[in-house]
Amino acid sequence: MFFLSGLPPCFSRACCQLHPWVAEAMVLVLQALLPCFCTLLSLELLPGVEPAVPLEDFYPFGQDVGDSQTIAQDDGGSRLVKISVAFPFFGDRHTGLYVNNNGLVSFLREVSQFTPVAFPIAGDRRVVAPFWADVDNRRAGRVFYRESQEPSSLRRASGEVKTYFSEFPNFNATWVLIATWHQVTFFGGSSLTPVNTFQVVLITDGELSFTIFQYNNITWTTGMHSSSGGNLAGLGGIAAQAGFNAGDGKRYFNIPGSRTADVVNVEGTTNVGQPGKWVFRIDDANVEVGSCNDSASVCQHLRPCLNGGQCIDDCITGNPSFTCSCLAGFTGQRCQIDVDECASYPCQNGGTCADRIHSFLCHCPPGYTGSQCEADIDECKDRPCLNDALCVQGAGTFTCVCEPGYTSVLCEKDMNECESQPCLNGGECMDLVANFTCVCPAAFTGTLCETELVVLQVNSTEPENQTGLCGNANCEKNWICENTSSGIHICTCAPGFYGDECEEECLCQNGGVCVDINGTCECQSGYTGLYCQFEVTQTPCSHSRTCPDGGPCLEYGGAYLCTCQTSAAELDPKDLYPYVQPRSVCDSSPCLNGGYCYERDGGYTCECKYGYWGKHCEKVRLNTCASAPCRNGGSCKEEAGSYRCVCPYRFTGKHCEVGKPDPCASSPCLNGGTCFHYIGKYKCECTEHFGGRHCEINRSSVQTSAGEQTVCHHFVMSKSH
């Protein structure tokens, strides 16, 4: 209840006392309205006024009158209903509509949104909404609808329009749509929770169109989805929206109390003098509501609605009162409350909401943008990662996955592979990109300088003494021991063998020898060819001067000379003079990817280079080492279609994935001795006062039989597991 400024409150609804100082003009206004000023201003109905439309006053509905039903489905509806007329709706004509379970009829598209939005809404959201809320007719209730041209329905609709819009005394309806939500409950409810019953009627004569809302029983307003915020009774949170929306963001009507707790009392409000009933014209360019043309108008004289709200006289006989239809962004009985648009927490991804009039502003956290902070900013768009690193998008951030050899947040730093000091035994580490190399001291070798070259303690540099000591070396099969002038020995391949492990037999003929690990032949004078299989004559030859008996013409010593093959080995085309070859099937170069062509029984065969296969060497052979299967610095070697990992010191396993124990971990060297790794073993380097296998012998305590102290200047460092 509210009062005019300067008037005292009423002490009784039955009688109001007017003070003599009230202006005569106000007295005239009050006399024109009602004897009791308090009753005039009350928004409540008088006792005895039924606050709802009885079901018998609804337009007939249900299966008995041929209604269709929507599917029992949360947020579902009728799908597109093609109608027999072009229904006028704010300047457009529609031949189809949707009856949505969530309490509204829509044009153009179905509305499955269950949390209502305050009108106006742009974007062609054209709806007539008697009670837009989160209905779930799977739990309770049914939704009926039908279009009708049945005479009794048309007569009733025509009469109601003439009553509420007296400017159209000749209106005759030609079509109506009747949609009824009967005892429906809310999402999260059950067959025992509160239910609502209401109806909407669309009416047209082909030119004019109207709608009637009728409310029988409204007991809940909100579904229990987290975005709506309703409680177990279907109340609280973002309540139902009632009214209509033209879809242009300008023309709309909100029934007072929409989207607030007050909407549960909509069955007691009206704009035509009958509680629970609202009537609107919805075809014209302007929004028009029904009126009872009562000269005793509360709105005209008191203007109670604030913030631009539209005042509507209820004109209930014996109880003149009003309701306020508020502009978007305001609510309350007098539109005095600024709606908090942040109450529904519209800002996503941790955004902060700032309330404004009929709007809100989201302040987004780093990494997000958009009106509701809904868009994740692509931090990888500008390619922040350097050195070909992979950028992985995250929530408000990004991560760079660096290529081998690079590190730091943006992969801008070249990783120092020498930082872990991988080189052993005093080796100097040289940093490379994604790799390193060890420069070993003279007495060590290997990838990590892990292999010690045994130092022989000798008193003479005579070759015979060195040769004798080489006999103690442990060279493998097909290896021989060689002494060097620096007092060390090395194992090299025996004559006739080559390869990393001296495992391949040399194929050189006529005294030729293999000179490298690839088995390349170095021929004696007078012989040539891949395997030294051709003996060179002194007979010149050329393209026009072939060799006697068809011998090959080969280049030798800067000239082309005839040769004789000394064995049954196949000729290698690489050795032949290109201009003296007879024409053959190989002239067309059928072998691809560097393959060599050989004539065979009137045809040819291709000898493919490594990595290719097929009749014409056209297929790529899978390199089993291409995936780099060997770990921890192991080197991969292909063998018989598979591969073998050669592991560095202290690693083993098929892929060098197993670390061997550190032989120095047990601190075997005593008395300050230093432990050094030695190919799976260790050696102790003792201080000057100690010796022995583990530096356990105190030299100062060792006496000769004559009582003299013996100092050993040369001793052999022992190694042990």
What tens digit of pLDDT does each residue of 33-69 get? 433 333 333 333 333 335 589 999 999 999 999 999 9
Distance CA 292, CA 166 (A): 9
For the four alpha carbons of 507, 508, 513 and 515, in that order, the dihedral sign comes to negative
The structure's pTM equals: 0.42
pLDDT at 176: 96
Of 31-40, 427-436, 565-574, 616-625, minimum mean pLDDT range: 31-40
* Least confident piece of the model among 158-162, 273-277, 677-681: 677-681
pLDDT for position 680:
58
Please state, in angstroms and rounded to a whole number, the distance separating the CA atoms of residues 291 and 70: 34
CB 627 within 8 A of CB 655: no
In the chain, the domains with their CATH numbers are 1-42 (no CATH), 55-339 (no CATH), 342-376 (2.10.25.10), 463-493 (no CATH), 601-659 (2.10.25.10), 674-720 (no CATH)
| Residue 289 tokens, joined | 């509501």
More confident of the two residues 335 and 157: 157
CA distance 244 to 397: 44
Q: Which residue has the tokens 């070759």?
A: 463
| pLDDT exceeds cutoff 90 at 141 | yes
Dihedral over Cα of 621, 622, 626, 632: its sign? negative
How much is the mean pLDDT over the chain? Answer: 77
For 209, the 3-state DSSP assignment is strand
pLDDT of residue 472: 54
Distance CA 485, CA 468 (A): 14
End-to-end distance of the chain based on CA atoms, in angstroms?
A: 101
**For 246, left (φ over 0), alpha (ψ -120 to 50), or beta?**
alpha
Greater pLDDT, 299 or 196: 196
Tokens in use for 696? 């356990």
pLDDT interval class at 604 (50, 70, 90): confident
Percent of the chain with pLDDT over 90: 22
Predicted local distance difference test score (pLDDT) of residue 117? 85
Q: Which 3-state string (H, E, C) describes 435-485? A: EEEEECCCCEECCCCCEECCCCCCCCCCHHHHHHHHCCCCCCCCEEEEECC
Among 181-190, 398-407, 537-546, 641-650, the range with the most confident prediction by mean pLDDT is 181-190
Q: What is the pLDDT of residue 78?
A: 92
- 391: helix, strand or coil: strand
* Phi, psi values for residue 212, rounded to 5°: -125, 130
- The answer to whether the CB of 406 falls within 8 A of the CB of 387 is yes
Residue 460's pLDDT is 41
Q: Which amino acid is at 680?
A: G
Band (572; pLDDT cuts 50, 70, 90): low
Tell me what pLDDT residue 664 has. 81
